Amino acid sequence: MSLVLLGVDFRQAALDLRVALSYDAPAARALLARAREVEGLREAAILSTCNRTEFYLVVDHQDAAARWLQLLRRDRPTARATDPACLLTRHVDAAAAGHLFAVAAGLDSAILGDAHVNGQVKRAYDQAREAGTLGPVLHRAFQQAFAVAKRVRRETALGRGHVSIGGCVAHQLAYAAPLARRVSIIGTGAVATDVARHLAKRGIYDLTIVSKDRGRATELATHVGGRGAVVPQLEDWLADADVVIGATGTSVPVLTSAMLALAGSASSARQGHRPSRLVVCDLGVPRNVDADIEARVFTIDDIRARQDAALTARESAVPAARRLVDAAVEGWTAWHRERALVPAIVGLYARERARREEMAARLWGRAGRAQVHLDARLRRAGRQLLHRQVVALRAKAAGYPGTPGGPAARVTVQG
């Protein structure tokens, strides 16, 4: 049996192609339920995220992988990734396991060291287990992936620091405005959403989402436990805000000096006004905030400098993380090779037992009461002989290129 990986990811497939081949939880369960239709397929798991869709298969022979592609074409007839003219990346045995380990560890993610990917790998494992398509080979591969991901995060700097804009903003505010609690976020796009989610995770901020579209503001606010507001209400919220974050694509500033001056006057007139000078984080390009406002301002360049520092630290940890992954691949390969020997070893012991019982049957008539001792001696002698054969068999398998888990090439297949 071989472990085979087929799939597409962000490096080789455009977004529309990945979307066409993506599988949410219900769709993945439905496809796994049809795995029994594929002759020669023993185990299957589906890892589907916004950046990749990968099918981990355990097959008796390579024809089963081609049959799986046929099943995909029936399931997603319009997905170009399953078209015969589209090449899918293929990894086999050790290369497939190594790819899974690297993905779980964050070495193959769009954001280097992304910890969320390991959670997505765990969901793929759980889906396969619930669908009944998880067997000993995939179980071992996924469990080893989780173990190496844990070691990478514990023993290297690959996952340290913040490299997403939202994570960097949250870290910047924790350092620059530790007493801030009331935060207004202007915008509902990808950047604003990322910032809102990271701030919500901290659990200490009172979030207000401001947008031209009340529906979008309310929708995002609901997801992060805040409140929604529209742009005309911005001046009212500014009076109470400790932090204002601009994250819109507008071509003109949405936060002006005049607005802040009015908000500052209103804030001073209220009991319990902000404890310190307003902090503004301007993530817009062009800028969302007037350059001459009276506030402590951080721009997208400040955030990107923090991103770059964290990314540099993570990149320096890649060699150490790769060594951990490589060591895990060696361990998995040794296990996979030895597992392939199980039928041969079982057969050796079965034949030894048959010969021993045949010999004992001929001798028992003359042995009388000594038959028990004779049987024990025959069993011991047989096991000693087989031990040498089994050791030799395992040694041969460890260096035999044709065994499962041997040097596995990274190739492409045409479906």
Tell me, what CATH number does 199's domain have?
3.40.50.720
Same domain, 40 and 132: yes
Written as six digits, the tokens of 44 are 């299957």
| pLDDT (0 to 100) of residue 294 | 79
Planar angle of CA 254, 256, 257, nearest 5 degrees: 170
Number of domains making up the chain: 2
* pLDDT classification of 262: cutoffs 50, 70, 90: confident
More confident residue, 29 or 399: 29
Domain boundary among 259, 289, 308: 308
Q: Active site residue: 50, 86, 168, 281, which one? A: 50
What does the DSSP assignment read for 210-233?
Answer: EES-HHHHHHHHHHHT-EEEEGGG
Let me know if residue 173 belongs to a domain: yes
* pLDDT classification of 222: cutoffs 50, 70, 90: very high
Same domain, 112 and 139: yes
Supply the range of the domain harboring residue 188: 168-308
Checking if the pLDDT of 19 tops 70, the result is yes
Let me know if residue 327 belongs to a domain: no
Let me know if residue 316 belongs to a domain: no
More confident residue, 405 or 106: 106
Checking if the pLDDT of 104 tops 90, the result is yes
Evaluate whether 282 touches 243 at the Cβ level (below 8 Å): no
Checking if the pLDDT of 414 tops 60, the result is no
* pLDDT classification of 391: cutoffs 50, 70, 90: confident
The C-alpha atoms of residue 254 and residue 287 are separated, in whole angstroms, by 9
For 91-115, what is the mean pLDDT?
93
Same domain, 136 and 259: no
| pLDDT (0 to 100) of residue 79 | 75
Same domain, 143 and 177: no
Q: Which of 71-85, 239-253, 254-268 has the highest mean pLDDT?
A: 239-253
Let me know if residue 93 belongs to a domain: yes
Checking if the pLDDT of 136 tops 90, the result is yes
The C-alpha atoms of residue 25 and residue 106 are separated, in whole angstroms, by 22
| Strand-pair partners of 55 | 6, 46
For 127-134, what is the mean pLDDT?
97
More confident residue, 60 or 263: 60
For 320-337, what is the mean pLDDT?
95
Checking if the pLDDT of 263 tops 70, the result is no
Domain boundary among 308, 332, 356: 308
- Asked if 50 is an active-site residue, the reply is yes
End-to-end Cα distance, the chain: 20
Same domain, 265 and 206: yes
Same domain, 111 and 195: no
Same domain, 286 and 174: yes
Same domain, 33 and 150: yes
Let me know if residue 161 belongs to a domain: no
